[in-house]
C-alpha cells in the first residue's frame, strides 16, 4: 500500500504536529524576537476570534475603512512576501534533505485538500521563471 502524502482532517486537527511545525518556523526568527512574535500572534488571534464570534465569521470591510498605515499586513507586505519565500525555501530543503528524491517529490507535489486554490504546488510553479 503506498504511503499517504496528503494531509487529512486528523493531521489538520493535530495540535502537537502543528506545534512542531510552528517550532520549526520559529527557528527562523531571531532568538531574541521569538517571544514577541508568539505574543503578538496570540494577541491577534484572540482579537480575530472575538471578531469572528461577533460577526459569525464574516464581515465585509468597505475599502474606505481600510487603514493602510495601521495594517501590518499591508504596511509590511514586501517583507512578509520575502519571509514567506524564506519559509518555503527552508521547508522544501528540509523535506528534500530528509527523504529520497522520489519521496520528497511525492510529499511536495501531493494534492493538498486543505490548501488553497487547486491544492497542487505544481500549478503555481509551472509559469515561474527566474
C-alpha cell at 113: 485538500
Q: Residue with C-alpha cell 464570534? A: 53
- The residue ranges of every structural domain in the chain are 1-59, 64-97, 99-130
- Residue 130's pLDDT is 62
pTM to 2 decimals?
Answer: 0.81
Q: Which residues of the chain have pLDDT under 50?
A: 1
Compute the distance between CA of residue 108 and CA of residue 92 in angstroms, rounded to an integer.
8
DSSP labels, 52-91: HHHHTT-----GGG--TTT-HHHHTHHHHHHHHHHHHHHH
With beta carbons less than 8 A apart as the criterion, state whether 68 and 74 touch: yes
Backbone angles phi, psi at 113, to 5 degrees: -65, -20
Terminal alpha carbon distance of the chain: 38
> 68-87, pLDDT tens digit by residue?
777 888 889 999 999 999 99
User: In this structure, how many other beta carbons lie within 10 angstroms of the beta carbon of residue 92?
Assistant: 14
Amino acid at each position: 500500500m503506498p504511503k499517504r502524502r496528503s494531509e487529512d482532517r486528523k493531521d489538520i486537527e493535530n495540535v502537537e504536529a502543528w506545534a512542531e511545525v510552528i517550532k520549526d518556523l520559529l527557528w527562523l526568527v531571531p532568538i531574541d524576537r521569538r517571544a514577541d512574535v508568539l505574543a503578538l500572534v496570540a494577541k491577534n488571534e484572540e482579537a480575530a476570534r472575538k471578531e469572528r464570534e461577533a460577526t459569525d465569521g464574516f464581515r465585509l470591510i468597505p475599502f474606505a475603512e481600510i487603514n493602510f498605515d495601521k495594517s501590518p499586513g499591508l504596511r509590511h507586505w514586501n517583507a512578509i512576501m520575502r519571509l514567506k519565500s524564506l519559509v518555503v525555501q527552508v521547508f522544501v530543503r528540509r523535506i528534500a534533505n530528509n527523504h529520497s528524491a522520489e519521496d520528497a517529490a511525492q510529499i511536495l507535489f501531493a494534492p493538498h485538500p486543505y490548501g488553497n486554490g487547486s491544492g497542487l504546488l505544481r500549478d503555481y510553479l509551472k509559469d515561474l521563471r527566474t
